[in-house]
Amino acid sequence: METIKGKNILLVGGTGGIGSRLAKLLAGSGATVFITGRNREKLAEAGTLAGIGTERQLILDITDAKAITETVTRVQEYGGIDILINAAGIGIIKPMDKLSMEEFSQTIQVNLMGSFLLVKAVLPGMKEAGKGLVIHIPGVLGKVPMAGAAAYAASKYGLVGMMQSIREELKRTEIRITNLFLGGVDSPFWDGIDLRVQRDKMVVAEEAAKAIWFLCQQPPSGVVSEMVLQPFNHQAI
């Protein structure tokens, strides 16, 4: 395993169920972690939990292109970004007769356009350094369809296609692209989703975070292009 001690990691969505636990693991391994979220109180809570100071707790809404550029520039002042982890995302799961155009658009804006803007902002620095690692979490709904997931799956399939294409562009560099396909993880993500699922049978958020922590420590001689981590079965019968 490659040490992450001293590496600069930008963790977008560091206030989430997975992100907040990941922040603690990464900081605990000696990485210099910058976390983002939209809410100052949630950021402070995640920062305190992980031992990340206020100067590295950054307010960011990833639907705001200008704010993304400013955030990336600010982190780069600390000596470049070694790893970008995008753990931000929203889940609107509704059948077509209930799904509005606004909800579809919002899902694409956050999950797909936000990811695009983040990658676009960090790539020049990584290209200059000749290396880097970008981790996204499309989830299994970026690979297989599900009833009610028209908006969410569109955003996550799009994310996968986008990152696979970018990977082709970067073939001659040492910039590595990893897509993590998680199944149901018990986190606040599910709080607003009206679906018959058994949260106690989902992957525990801490374990999902450990998978990403592991991905960050892969030696540069190889790349984990994909990882799949799913619960056995969390669909209610």
Ligand X SMILES: NC(=O)c1ccc[n+]([C@@H]2O[C@H](COP(=O)([O-])OP(=O)(O)OC[C@H]3O[C@@H](n4cnc5c(N)ncnc54)[C@H](OP(=O)(O)O)[C@@H]3O)[C@@H](O)[C@H]2O)c1
Q: Enumerate binding residues for ligand X (CB under 6 A).
A: 13, 15-19, 37-39, 42, 60-63, 87-91, 110, 137, 139, 182, 184-185, 187-189
Phi-psi region of 60 (alpha: psi -120 to 50; beta: other; left: phi over 0): beta
Smallest gap from residue 182 Cβ to ligand X (A): 4
Q: Output 2 or 146, the one with its CB closest to ligand X.
A: 146
Q: Output 1 or 147, the one with its CB closest to ligand X.
A: 147
Smallest gap from residue 8 Cβ to ligand X (A): 19
Helices then strands, each counted (H, E), the chain: 7, 9
Q: Output 37 or 132, the one with its CB closest to ligand X.
A: 37
Q: Determine how β-strand 83-86 pairs with β-strand 8-12.
A: parallel
The DSSP output letter for 134 is: E
Smallest gap from residue 174 Cβ to ligand X (A): 25
What is the C-alpha to C-alpha distance for residues 237 and 118, in angstroms, rounded to an integer?
39
Q: Output 174 or 206, the one with its CB closest to ligand X.
A: 206
What is the C-alpha to C-alpha distance for residues 43 and 96, in angstroms, rounded to an integer?
34
What is the C-alpha to C-alpha distance for residues 137 and 197, in angstroms, rounded to an integer?
20
Annotation says 152 is catalytic: yes
The active-site residue out of 34, 152, 189, 190 is: 152
Both structure tokens of 125: 């620095």
Instruction: State phi, psi for 173 to the nearest 5 degrees.
Output: -115, 175
Smallest gap from residue 199 Cβ to ligand X (A): 9
What is the C-alpha to C-alpha distance for residues 210 and 75, in angstroms, rounded to an integer?
24
* Residues designated catalytic: 152
